[in-house]
Structure 1
Amino acid sequence: MDTNQWQGAATRAELITKGHTPSEIRTALIGNTIRSLAPGIYASPALWNESMETRHGELSKATLRKLGGNYVLGAQSAAAVYGLPLWGVDPRVVHLVQPTNNSGTGSRNSKRIRIHRDARRTASLRIDGVLVSSPARAIVDLARRSSTASAVVTGDAALHRGLCTVTELLAELDVIAGFPGHPKARRAIAMMDARSESALESRSRVSMFDARLPLPTLQYEVLDAHGQFLARVDFAWVEHRVIGEADGVVKYKTDDVRSVLNREKYRADRIVEQGWRIVRWSSADLDTPRLVANRIRHALSQSRVA
């Protein structure tokens, strides 16, 4: 089977339409030339090397093509099609919206598909031949069905990239007043911020909120004694002279590690010289409950002592 003829995900019916026999499909699966994303849906080798979000987006579109009908991709499945980051959701499960004339909402679940019946006026776009919930509706639906951290990670990114506005999120929130999950969604949307630049930063803010830490200033510009720019940092508790840095791995993918570390050390030394304390953490640190919050709280208390 020549997988160069197709990209992304394809259904069994689509492969047969392209001229591949059931025997060829089985042989390709056995030889790992293609891989199964779900029953009757297959991924090309190129797709398997893509991000989880890209694979889920392609799986979602293929699922909708396979089912047909008047379904719309919703929640995290819609977010994945928009290229937004996902965190803390099951990428094997596709979320579909089924418009209905009946009042209220409901859902039908299977191992791989969640179908949410929805009486709201449809808010969707057509992307790659399938209907996808608007960014604002997808974020609100994700927020009412998933964890706060999951919603804020995706919602922050949508706001940061200009895919939706806070006003649009609040409008969608008003539409679901009285629906299950409305208070949960309202809490998550209140925490979303377009200034967040990574999933780790978004998760960090949720952790700070849950620990009832003072809210930091985001993307704060640190100046030297002469008012010259030194650095832009992820979080700053300005009155305490404490800085928080959520260290991801993206910057190490394109630069020499030693060069990055040297630049980071020089940057940190300059900041400390101006009387700031720096608290750093990684994604792994954030996975340990209260670890990062306790580090920040300790730094804040030390600044008060000083």
Structure 2
Amino acid sequence: MSELPRLVLAREHLQLGLTPKQLAARCRAGALTRIRHGVYVDGPAWAALSEWEKYRLGVSAAAETFVAPTVFARHSAASVWGIPTIGYGRPIYALTLKNDGGRSRAGVKRHYARFAGLDVVERDGLLVTGRIRTVLDLAAYTPFTQAVVPVDHILKADTTRGLAPVSKEELLFAVEGNYTAAAAQRIRAAVEFGDPRSGSAGESYGRALMWAAGFEAPALQYEIRDRSGRVSFSDYFWAEGRVAGEFDGVVKYMKPEYLKGRTASQAVVDEKRREDRMRAAGFSVVRWVWQDLMSPARLESALSAAGVPRRRARSARRRPE
């Protein structure tokens, strides 16, 4: 994530040399964008942000409007940690230590949490739940298909932020005493399914959708050699049917570490040639994009047409002696 634009606070209008009326006029002209009451940001800079970045900036904006110390949690804490989540338009999530039902207003949802055992960290000037607690909360209170995404992420090192990987054992150890039996069951399902080999949030979400649709779990980052011995790595692979699956996240055609000096158009051409080599080696290749993940029926139809195997019933997985 690039550096976020600075927030402009109405309460600091004297330091800014602007009156409240001037701030409002700049907002009407598009020079500023109002994020929350009394909190603005440069208009063009806001328009250039991704939805993920806008949400992250919204968390900081909310923090500027609260007087009492506030601990951000779930998707809001994840945005501060750089942990990917699925879906846009979510409220800001914060914790309350009073078990009175909490108060949710102005786009902020508050959830009760017991102070005992609560891991709180200051990061980027904000109070947030710790990485493990954040991921466990997401696994406990979001659908399985979405919960797999943050779990996969935390199982590998975050080299961009210098954060070490967390093991499945560490995640499961932190469940005890902090969740109901039902929530703990949901967490275990997501953690057990988690895989650090997943290459991106889109790959994680796609894998979870496949499983929910009844397909066999694929091998990840599978090495494929063509007849000349040239190696390619497929995002997904199913040995039964010899099917390779590829998720086309647009971001990878923009990241310098992926492009390696190539233009985006050259990267697309190279991907096509790589796919041709896989087909020539006798593999079927099925490819999908984010829009397909947002419509799981389309993904399921593509996988079925490519011959991706369905899971066998539990009673059929072992032949009788």
TM range, normalised to the smaller chain?
Answer: 0.7 to 0.9
Distance 1:70 1:187, change over 3 A: same
1:74-153 superposed matches below 5 A: 74-91=73-90, 93-100=91-98, 107-119=102-114, 120-153=116-149
Q: Distance in 2 between matches of 1:182 and 1:111?
A: 30
Give the TM-score normalised by the residue count of structure 1.
0.84
For the aligned residue pairs, the C-alpha RMSD in angstroms reads 2.7
Q: Distance in 2 between matches of 1:157 and 1:170?
A: 16
Q: Verify: 1:208 aligned to 2:210, yes or no.
A: yes
Give the TM-score normalised by the residue count of structure 2.
0.80
Matched with 1:284 is 291
Q: Distance in 2 between matches of 1:173 and 1:15?
A: 46
CA contact (8 A) 2:151 2:194 kept: yes
Cα distance, 1:61 vs structure 2: 2.2
Matched with 2:71 is 72
Matched with 1:3 is none
Q: Distance in 2 between matches of 1:243 and 1:10?
A: 49
CA contact (8 A) 2:120 2:129 kept: yes
Q: Distance in 2 between matches of 1:89 and 1:184?
A: 22
Q: Distance in 1 between matches of 2:41 and 2:173?
A: 37
Distance 1:184 1:111, change over 3 A: farther
Q: Distance in 2 between matches of 1:60 and 1:210?
A: 32
Map Cα deviations across residues 257-286 of structure 1 (whole Å, 9 max, x no partner).
542332122211211222111111112223
Q: Verify: 1:273 aligned to 2:280, yes or no.
A: yes
Q: Distance in 2 between matches of 1:189 and 1:106?
A: 29
Cα distance, 1:79 vs structure 2: 0.9
Matched with 1:217 is 219
Distance 1:153 1:10, change over 3 A: farther
Matched with 1:251 is 252
Say which of 181, 187, 195 aligns to 2:189.
187
Matching residue's letter, 1:121:
G
Cα distance, 1:118 vs structure 2: 0.7
CA contact (8 A) 2:33 2:46 kept: no
Q: Distance in 2 between matches of 1:15 and 1:144?
A: 42
Gaps (5+ residues) in structure 1?
1-5
Cα distance, 1:144 vs structure 2: 2.3
Matching residue's letter, 1:184:
R
SS of the aligned residue for 2:103 comes to strand
Judge which range, 209-218 or 40-49, deviates more.
Answer: 40-49
CA contact (8 A) 1:230 1:267 kept: no
CA contact (8 A) 1:222 1:231 kept: yes
SS of the aligned residue for 1:131 comes to strand
Q: Distance in 2 between matches of 1:95 and 1:285?
A: 28
Q: Distance in 2 between matches of 1:16 and 1:209?
A: 57
Matching residue's letter, 1:83:
G
Distance 1:9 1:145, change over 3 A: farther
SS of the aligned residue for 2:307 comes to helix
Q: Distance in 1 between matches of 2:14 and 2:137?
A: 35
CA contact (8 A) 2:149 2:201 kept: yes
Matching residue's letter, 1:287:
M
SS of the aligned residue for 2:191 comes to helix
Matching residue's letter, 1:60:
V
Q: Distance in 2 between matches of 1:170 and 1:252?
A: 36
Matching residue's letter, 1:215:
A
Q: Verify: 1:35 aligned to 2:33, yes or no.
A: yes
Cα distance, 1:168 vs structure 2: 3.1
CA contact (8 A) 1:8 1:58 kept: no
Cα distance, 1:245 vs structure 2: 0.6
Gaps (5+ residues) in structure 2?
310-321
Q: Distance in 2 between matches of 1:15 and 1:238?
A: 64
Distance 1:189 1:9, change over 3 A: farther
SS of the aligned residue for 1:290 comes to helix
Distance 1:106 1:300, change over 3 A: farther
Matched with 2:269 is 262
How many residue pairs end up in the alignment? 292
Q: Distance in 1 between matches of 2:244 and 2:24?
A: 55
CA contact (8 A) 1:73 1:132 kept: yes
Identity within the alignment, %:
28
Distance 1:236 1:64, change over 3 A: same
Matched with 2:169 is 167
Q: Distance in 2 between matches of 1:143 and 1:252?
A: 30
Map Cα deviations across residues 225-264 of structure 1 (whole Å, 9 max, x no partner).
56x3421110001243111111121233365454233212
SS of the aligned residue for 2:174 comes to helix
Distance 1:233 1:298, change over 3 A: same
Q: Distance in 1 between matches of 2:144 and 2:12?
A: 38
